[in-house]
Chain A
Amino acid sequence: MSATLNRIGLPRDAYKGAATTLCAGCGHNSITNHLIKALYELGIEPHRLAKMSGIGCSSKTPAYFVEAAHGFNGVHGRMPALTTGAQLANRQLIMLGVSGDGDTASIGLGQFMHMIRRNIDCTYIIEDNGTYGLTKGQFSATADLGSVQKKGAVNTFQPIDPCAVALTLGCSFVARSFSGDGKQVVPLIKAAIAHRGTAVLDIISPCVTFNDHDGSTKSYSWVKDHEESIADVSFIPFYEEVHVDYEPGTIRDVELHDGSHILLKKLGEDHDPSDRRGAMHVLEEGRSAGHLVTGLLYLDTTMEDFATTEHIPERPLKDLGEDELRLTPDQFASFISEFA
């Protein structure tokens, strides 16, 4: 049987990478699989993808999907800077960043915030396990107050919630999900990629080795018991037609820049993803009720991304040659003579 091909004629295997070297059962591996599925189904051209990351178990994962794409495993917490530069050099690239909660919320918090502030066009996935996996189990800044480390130590600090931070900064796309919830993660990844601007996707991704025990609020069992999705998400890419066969009033349809649609089916209370204050409220309510709120929290499709605001041409800056970048000999001579 021949493999099923996607719209650009590639099999699913074309979206695989090197074999993972992470622990068996690590949430990050599930996210890798969700990424492979989303990228394959979207029919992303591998050569247009730029996989960016910092340092950590999570940051290693870009090696494990789409082998044919370029990737850049940078320095700890500084993926946003690399992503910003690469995006400006070549606007045609699809920037996909993968980071950890240590990488993002501790050492890289400043860059994370400033990337959002500039609304760099990229997908920013946080594989959030509340711990430093690669350095063997220290608390990270997203660990909840009172959560317990494997060796028994209790976290005495308030967590930094990357979604709340992103919302405060006016991030144009904010979502949270769970590595074990492929049904939700996959459409959110697709939507994040289709979105033009910084799309922050905080995915709780349990560390089976250091943070999967009782007393952790980032363990598989805790998240399974406490996840509360605010809406069912489905994603209709621009090249497919939207068929809505739901009852009127039960569905929200948001159109993205490229003509794709996000369909949100109401589950509990209705949340309008264009309402930033509402999104903060939903996060806060969930927190005080001891739930993990997941889903698309906020989306603003009107905000311009950085390169657009800066009038950077669609044609990659890296491709411009002498004739477009240098002054002409006449221009040069008259410019220099101004210094006389």
Chain B
Amino acid sequence: MQIPFGLYPVGLNLYPLALDLFIPTIFIFFAGASYRVTRYFVTYNKPFIVYTTQVRGITQGEKIKELFNTFANSSKVGIKRKPATTAVGLLMHIVLILIIFLLAQHMIFWAYYIPPYQILFPLAIPESSADGQLAFFRGSTPYTSTPYPFVHDIWGPLTIILNGQYLTYLLIIFLAIYLAHKFSVVVERLSIRAGDWWFFVLLFVDVVLGFLATSHIPNNVYWYDNLLGAHILVAEIIIATLPFTRGFHMFEFYLGKLREWYFMIMRRGMK
């Protein structure tokens, strides 16, 4: 079966369906994002700025320094006052970003839809630590040359630890801690939102699915296609719902911090 605008026939497994649904997913994402952004424009009130102060005089250099401080402050305070949860939060973000954007398989996927993404190919990290071990212990280089410098990544033996396999282990642990934290919040009868479960459970499931597929567990093509398909489908659900969930913070984070900086530094002349 071919679904409208589909690129592949939908067969007996989830993989072609998942690929077919990628473009519609992006449409939904953009529609949602536009809706969210439009609401900001509609409710925007031009601020009335009282005065730039005569007694404080903040220099351009200080303004830039404060911009860095604005972005760094929450992590700095978090590490001091809530070290465990802050460390888990920060590491989880780092690992998630690495795995989404630098895992070789993901990079190929992104580059297929956004060709300039190829520029980042030298940063690709492999699926497992085997590559790094081969490079390190055997001094081996890829046997065949490739049109892209793809397999010649810049990480070298570092991929013994920097690889999809290990990062996924970490990610599963961090996400499990997050989920446990959410449960503890429920126990303490503090506010928890449906969106929290939506995001963390989906992410957790998605990481596990991706891991099973790449690790070929169970080891046959039928399951591989279905697991990979399911992995992509869950990712598509996450992407499509980003504008309506906490996931959108990956974009809005910058907006919030820039607003804070603008408010304090440009409007208040903080010094």
* A and B associate: no
